[in-house]
Structure 1
Amino acid sequence: MFRSIMIFLMFLICTFIGFFLGENYKRRSIHLKEFQKALLLLNNEIIYANTPLPDALLEVSKKVSEPVSDIFSDMALALENGYTGSIYESFENAYEKIKEKINLTSDDNKIISDFFKTLGSSGVTGQDKIFKLTLDNIDINYKEARKFEKENIKLYRTLGLSIGAMLAIFFI
């Protein structure tokens, strides 16, 4: 009886690990889509509504989901209270706080951090071009993430299930 329960638990654990590894690909595409939405909203707030940056970051944080909203709200708080000297520094500090919650590659992080390095360094037309370039790059990475998601979610789920079944059969 105990042996059967242990075999069943091993099967469930392997299946769960397969589902968990597959979900990492899904979370990356979700987080990239949220960043894309956030940057589009930030573009509208800054370029068209002429909202000051801390207020614009706070408004964007209210309209996107976690963990992306946490980054924008922390940045707004840091800029408003003068905790950091630059926008990029506030982004780095906010990103470090939630690094474990967000699932982005180093390429995704580089695109977003490069954007925050250049935010506020040019006029309205230059800033609009920077927004468009960043949104295009994030869109390319989002499409790549969706492709990997479609390929790998089913693979990891099936692999976890198969390894679990193989181990259960082996121990029977």
Structure 2
Amino acid sequence: MKIIGMIMILISSTLIGYIISLRYSLRRWTLKCLISSLNMLKTEISYSKTPLSEAFEKISEVSDSSIRFLFSNTAKILNLNEGYTAGEALEISLSKWKDNNFNKDDIEIIKSLGYGLGNSDGYNQENNLELALELLKKQLADAEELGKKNERLYRNLGFLIGVVIVILFI
């Protein structure tokens, strides 16, 4: 019975380490999907000259499920015609989006992107999107570097903490 308990402790602590390390992978995936979707939004605005609410709807239909809520909810808010700007709609969507994997810097970049959408001509909106994309690419590079360091650390740390607890029980 004691051995089963020790095995359960070891397995659960290892799983906790893997779950913590998974957050780093999810952040990288979400950032990649957001960058891809923003590139599509840039195309919709620049070349198709699609209105923002329609562009957000189109992007939400083809976006990965990890970020679909952001675009679909922003489109819904803009379609309600309650006087919200694209930036305000995007900020409301960000505040309602509870299961995102972004950190504070990522969210600030998205908010700053929203302030330039719909408030200027197509050229300035394209420049604003380009700036946001560059900043998000830098965030992605930072997330990849951080993930390389911390993912393995947390996996090993979870296992080692389990080993220490098992040794203490012996």
Same fold (TM over 0.5): yes
8 A contact 2:23–2:101 mirrored in 1: yes
Give the stretch that moved more between structures: 65-74 or 140-149: 65-74
Give RMSD over aligned pairs: 1.3
Is 2:64 aligned against 1:68? Answer: no
C-alpha distance in structure 2 between counterparts of 1:5 and 1:92, whole Å: 49
C-alpha distance in structure 2 between counterparts of 1:97 and 1:80, whole Å: 17
Q: What does residue 130 of structure 2 align with?
A: 132
Residue 84 (structure 1) shift: 5.3
Q: How many residues align?
A: 170
Residue 83 (structure 1) shift: 4.3
Unaligned runs of 5+ residues in structure 2 are none
Distance 1:83 1:20, change over 3 A: farther
Q: Tell me the secondary structure at the aligned position of residue 70 of structure 1.
A: helix
Is 2:28 aligned against 1:29? Answer: yes
The aligned runs of 1:1-172 (5 Å cut-off) are: 1=1, 3-83=2-82, 85-99=84-98, 101-172=99-170
8 A contact 2:85–2:118 mirrored in 1: no
For normalisation by structure 2, the TM-score amounts to: 0.94
Distance 1:44 1:15, change over 3 A: same
C-alpha distance in structure 2 between counterparts of 1:80 and 1:147, whole Å: 39
Indicate the percent of aligned positions where both proteins have the same amino acid.
Answer: 30
Residue 154 (structure 1) shift: 0.6
For 1:88-110, what per-residue CA distance to the aligned partner results, in whole angstroms no more than 9, with x for missing partners?
Answer: 221122112222x1111111111
1:76 maps to a residue whose letter is A
C-alpha distance in structure 1 between counterparts of 2:22 and 2:34, whole Å: 18
Deviation >3 Å, runs of 4+: none
For 1:49-99, what per-residue CA distance to the aligned partner results, in whole angstroms no more than 9, with x for missing partners?
Answer: 111111110111111112311110011111112245221221122112222
Unaligned runs of 5+ residues in structure 1 are none
8 A contact 1:36–1:138 mirrored in 2: yes
